[in-house]
Amino acid sequence: MRIEPIQADITTLDVDMVVNAANTSLLGGGGVDGAIHRAAGPELLEACRAHGGCPTGEARLTPGFGLPARWVAHAVGPRWRGGDRGEAEALASCYRAALALADQVGASSIAFPAISTGIYGYPPEKAAQVAVEALRQAKTKVEVAYLVAFDRPMLDTYRRLLGAPGAQ
């Protein structure tokens, strides 16, 4: 699988699957979660409601509805509590769970936001390290995984960790 860091609005990407940084209720929230729900339309909320929630470290599948992406994997990342309460494993599990859903539906491209780095407080550098390692170790049929940065500092972090051109 090719891993590509990009800076973009995840709701606009023409990929097979986008990953939503969801909360355990799956009923929407702020940040990436709110943006994906707004862009996908009200059908997404109904589809999420049918799942009855999702535990931390897991992911649930819905159609993309109004998004360019055909599918959404709603991954619930951990809240940062200092790093010694299994946060890294729970975060890595989100990436693996989303890739498993991508394989289930035959997705060849997937876009990940920086899961848990917003309101959940995961330090961006540490979260990026977990993401890159989890994706590099993944056994999947997905051909390309985009690490979508909302801002330039996160893009630079992804580039540096991946040894990509333009890394700072």
Active site (catalytic) residues: 33
53, 26 contact by CB (below 8 A): yes
Tell me the CA end-to-end span of the chain in Å, nearest whole number: 24
Q: What's the CA gap between 133 and 94, in Å, rounded?
A: 12
Residue 148: count of CB within 10 angstroms of its CB: 25
